[in-house]
Structure 1
C-alpha cells in the first residue's frame, strides 16, 4: 500500500473534483492560519482555526491522513508560538496555544470516530448489497415459483379483528359475505420470478391474476388467514390454483411469515407444481387396485389348484380301492372279508378328502384349523398306510428310524398332507429315474427342548444343482404333468404354524427334506 493510498481516500471518478476542492481549501486555510498567527499582530486564539482545516480535510483524507494533518497543524502552532514569543513568557499566549491544541485534538478524535463509524456503515451497506444481490439472484434463477407479497395491510386488519375478540376466521367469513374478497384485495405482489410467471402463465402482479388464482382455493385462503391470526410462522398445504389461461393446477403452497409485524410488507410465497405427481399417484392407486383384484383372482386360482392337488391322492386311492373291491366281489365265492377291508379304506380316504375340503374352507374363512395333540410315530404309521398302494406299486420300501419324541400339537390334516406330498415326490422321483433299489428313510428326532425334526430321505437321483434355488417356487416343476405348487404349499403350511421345510442332497446320495416343528406351536398367533 502506498503512502498516498494510506492518506487519501479512494473515490469514484465523479466525486474526484469535489474532494480535490476540499483538500486544496484545507491546505490554503492551514497556510493562511499559520501566516496570520505568525506574521501579524492580531491577538487571539488564531490557531483554533486549524480545527476548521482538519474538518475540511476530513472530506478527502483517511483516518491516517487526519491524524497526520492534525499533528502537522499542532506542529505549526508550536512553531508559530516559538517564532512570535521567543525568549518571552506570555501567560495569555500560552493559554491560547493550549486552547488551540485542545480544540485540535478533540476535533481530530471526533473526526476519527466519525470516520470509523462511516467505514463500518459502508462495510455493512456493502454486505447488505452483496446479500441482496445473492438473494435476488437465487430468487430470480430458482426453478421454484416464488413471490414477494405485501401482507402488511392484511395483517393489520386481522390483528384488529383479533383485538375485537374474533378468533375464528371461517365463522367471521360466513357471517360477513365479501370478507374473503376484501382480504384478497389487501394483498399486493411486490415481485415474482420467472418460474412464478411460467406457473401462472403471466406476471403475477397483473391486475386480477392474484384474485383469480386465489378464488379457486378460497377454503385454503381462509386457512392461511387463520394461520396469520394465530401467529404461526409457516403455512403449507396443497392448493388448487387457476392460471391466467384458465387451467387448474395443484401446487404445494408454502408461506413463511415473519415474526415482526413491520416485516409483513415482504412475505415470501413459494409454489411447487405437483399436478403431474398427483396424477401419477392416482394412476398408481388405480393400478394397485387392479393388481389387488388380479391378486385375488390369482389366489383363487392357486387355492383351486392346491385343492385339486391335495384331493388327487385320496380320490385316486378311493378309485383303486373301489376297483379292488369289485375284483373281490367278482370272485366265486366273493371274498367278503377282503371286500370289507377295501370298503373301510374307501371310507377312510373319503373322510380324509372331506377333512381336506374342511381345512381349505377354514383357510378361506381365515379360521385356524383345529389343533390336536398326537403321537408322531403313530401319525407316521397312519400316513404310510394311506400310501400303501403307491408303495406296493412302485416297490418302494420304507424304513422308520425312531427316536423318543414328545407328543406334538398341530393341525393333523395339514401335517399329514405335507408328509404325503414329500413321500409321493420321493416315489415319483425314483420312478422317473428308474432306480432299482427304492427306499425311503423317515427319521424323527428332537432338535431341542421345543422343536422336533422329521426328515424324509430317498435313494433317488437327488436335487439337480440348477433347480435347487427354485425348488420351493410356486408353479415351478420338472414333471411333465406337475403343477409345481406342492412344495410351495408344504413350506407355506409349515411356516404358518411356526415350522420350516428345507430340501437338499444327502451326502450318501438321494434327496433329503427336513421338517422342523415346534412341540407347542403358537396357533393363535399364526
Structure 2
C-alpha cells in the first residue's frame, strides 16, 4: 500500500509531516506514562488527542489504522502494568472508557472526513456549474442580462400585504409606482450580444437604467410587474427598445423568474432583435432554447451555492459536539450521560446534512423514477404557464375549465405534462395554419365515468380530416409537412401504460377535441399496470 491509502493529501507535505510527528511523539509519551508510571487514571484516553491531530491529514483507512494502533498500545500498557493481576475491575473500567473514546472519536473523524470530501466535491461541482453557465451566458448570440429584481419583488409583496389584488388598476390610480419599480431594477451583468444590441445602455449598472432603454409611455414593464405580482414563472412579449444611438428596435423580451425567492437578485433576461420579420420565427426558437439552458444552469449554480452554505451549519455543529464529547470523556470520572447526549447531537446533525443533500438533489433532478399522485388542475395551469409564449406568439387565446372537485390521479408527472404540451402544441399549430379570426384553445378538467378523470383539449380550428381520424395515433402518420408522426403515438402509448385512454374527434361546433381519460388514485386498473 502507498501513503495515499492513509493520507488524504489535502495539506502540504511540511504541515502534514509536522502533525504526524507531533502525534507520534504524543502517542509515545502517553504509552510511556501509561506503562511505566504509577499514575492512576484513564491515561489511554489521551490517545484521542493524537487521533484528533491526525484528523486533517488521514483518510478513512488511516483513521481506522490509527485507532487500531492506539487500542493496541492501550491494551499493551494495561497488560504490562497489571502482569501480576490482570483482573483489576477499576483498571478494566478505565481501559474500557479509553477504548470507547478511541472508537467513538475515530467514528466521528471518519464521518467528518466523508462530509468534508462531499463538501469538496460539491464546491468543485459549483465551480464547474458556474463556469459552464458563464460560458453559455457570455458566448451565446442572444442578448442576455442578469438583473436584480429583488427590490421590485419586495415592493409588490408590500402592495399585496396592503390588500392590493390588481396591480394594473393600482398603477392607473398611482402611476408613480411603475417609475418606482423601474428605478429599483439594477443591471448585474450583460453579455457581448447585449452590448451589440443596445450599446453602452446595456451595461449601465446604475439603478433605473431601464428608463434609457424603454421609450416613454411603453407599458411593457407594467406587464412584467403584473406577471411578477401574479407569481408567474416567466414573461415574454415583443417590445420596442432604444439603443445608446437613439435607434429603436423591436425585440422579443423573455424573462425567467426563479422559484427560489432569494434568487431574484440575478434574474435572467433575454432579448432577440426581431426587426427583420423574415428572421423572426427562427430567432424566437433559438432564443427560447438558449435562454432555457442559461436559466437551468443558473438554477443549478444557485442550488449548489445554497447546498455549500447549508452544509456549513450541521458540519460545524458536528465538530463542536465532537469537541464537547472529548471534554466530557476527559473528566474524571467521565460523564458518560453527557457524552451520549453529545453523540446523539452528532448523529442528528449528520442526518440533517444528509437530508440537505437529498433535498437539493431532488430539486436538481427534473425527472421522477416512481409514479406519484398528481393534481390535474394544477398540472394544467402549470402547463399553460409554460405555453404562454406559444399562445402569445401565435395570438391564440386559451381558457382553463375545471370542475370544483377533481380527484387526483397516479402518474409520472413529467411524462403526463409532456402529453399535455404535445396536445396543446398541436392545437396551437392547427389554429396558426387556419384562417380563424378568434383562435381559441379550451382545456377542461372534469370527473369522468366511474374511476376516471377526463382532460379535454379543444380548439376552434379546421378540425381533423375524415380520412385521418382513424390513423392519427398510428406511428409515423402525420398531417404536417415537416412532422415525424411519432408525437401522438408516444402520447397514446404512455396514457395506456397508466391505465388510461387517449381519443380524438371533431367537435360539432367546429375544431378538434382530444380527450385523456385517466384512472383515479387507488384505482385497481391503474395498480395492475405498475404491479
TM-score by length of 2: 0.50
Distance in 1 (CA, whole Å) between partners of 2:205 and 2:147 is 13
Q: Number of residues paired by the alignment? A: 278
Counterpart of 2:233 in structure 1 is 233
| SS of match in other structure, 2:46 | helix
Distance in 1 (CA, whole Å) between partners of 2:215 and 2:261 is 26
Counterpart of 1:75 in structure 2 is 72
Counterpart of 2:175 in structure 1 is 177
1:161 aligns with 2:177: no
Cα deviations across residues 483-513 of structure 1 (Å, max 9, x unaligned)?
A: xxxxxxxxxxxxxxxxxxxxxxxxxxxxxxx
Counterpart of 1:23 in structure 2 is 20
Q: Decide whether the 8 Å contact of 2:19 with 2:53 is kept in 1.
A: yes
Structure 2 stretches lacking a partner, 5+ long = 282-531
**Aligned-pair distance for 1:280?**
9.0
**Aligned-pair distance for 1:21?**
2.8
Distance in 1 (CA, whole Å) between partners of 2:55 and 2:175 is 65
**Aligned-pair distance for 1:248?**
0.9
| SS of match in other structure, 1:275 | coil
Counterpart of 2:116 in structure 1 is 118
CA change 1:272–1:74 in 2 (3 A) is same
Counterpart of 1:224 in structure 2 is 224
Distance in 2 (CA, whole Å) between partners of 1:90 and 1:279 is 92
Cα deviations across residues 431-469 of structure 1 (Å, max 9, x unaligned)?
A: xxxxxxxxxxxxxxxxxxxxxxxxxxxxxxxxxxxxxxx
Distance in 2 (CA, whole Å) between partners of 1:211 and 1:197 is 16
| SS of match in other structure, 2:213 | helix
Counterpart of 2:267 in structure 1 is 267
Counterpart of 2:84 in structure 1 is 87
**Aligned-pair distance for 1:24?**
2.1
Distance in 1 (CA, whole Å) between partners of 2:104 and 2:143 is 57
Counterpart of 1:366 in structure 2 is none
Counterpart of 1:336 in structure 2 is none
Counterpart of 1:248 in structure 2 is 248
Structure of higher CA gyration radius: 1
Distance in 1 (CA, whole Å) between partners of 2:217 and 2:15 is 59
Distance in 2 (CA, whole Å) between partners of 1:205 and 1:255 is 19
Cα deviations across residues 240-297 of structure 1 (Å, max 9, x unaligned)?
A: 011122111111000011223222122110111111237999xxxxxxxxxxxxxxxx
Cα deviations across residues 48-102 of structure 1 (Å, max 9, x unaligned)?
A: 0011111111111111100100100101111111111113132221111111101
**Aligned-pair distance for 1:125?**
1.7
Q: Which has the higher contact order (CA 8 A, sep 6+)?
A: 2
- Written as runs of structure 1 = structure 2, the 5 A alignment for 1:105-144 is 105-144=103-142
Q: Decide whether the 8 Å contact of 1:216 with 1:242 is kept in 2.
A: no
Distance in 1 (CA, whole Å) between partners of 2:256 and 2:104 is 50
Distance in 1 (CA, whole Å) between partners of 2:97 and 2:139 is 62
Q: Decide whether the 8 Å contact of 2:215 with 2:240 is kept in 1.
A: no
**Aligned-pair distance for 1:179?**
1.9
Q: Decide whether the 8 Å contact of 2:258 with 2:267 is kept in 1.
A: yes
CA change 1:206–1:44 in 2 (3 A) is closer
**Aligned-pair distance for 1:226?**
0.4
Counterpart of 2:8 in structure 1 is 9
- Written as runs of structure 1 = structure 2, the 5 A alignment for 1:57-68 is 57-68=54-65
Q: Decide whether the 8 Å contact of 1:209 with 1:244 is kept in 2.
A: no
CA change 1:280–1:257 in 2 (3 A) is closer
Q: Decide whether the 8 Å contact of 1:154 with 1:186 is kept in 2.
A: yes
Q: Decide whether the 8 Å contact of 2:186 with 2:209 is kept in 1.
A: no
CA change 1:138–1:200 in 2 (3 A) is same
CA change 1:204–1:231 in 2 (3 A) is same
Distance in 2 (CA, whole Å) between partners of 1:119 and 1:231 is 39
CA change 1:92–1:185 in 2 (3 A) is same
1:100 aligns with 2:93: no
**Aligned-pair distance for 1:164?**
2.1
Cα deviations across residues 199-250 of structure 1 (Å, max 9, x unaligned)?
A: 1112423436432113447311100000000111110000101112211111
Q: Decide whether the 8 Å contact of 1:238 with 1:253 is kept in 2.
A: yes
**Aligned-pair distance for 1:171?**
2.4
**Aligned-pair distance for 1:152?**
1.0
Distance in 2 (CA, whole Å) between partners of 1:104 and 1:279 is 72
Q: Decide whether the 8 Å contact of 1:154 with 1:183 is kept in 2.
A: yes
Distance in 1 (CA, whole Å) between partners of 2:210 and 2:16 is 51
Distance in 1 (CA, whole Å) between partners of 2:131 and 2:205 is 25
Counterpart of 1:37 in structure 2 is 34
Superposed CA RMSD in Å reads 2.0
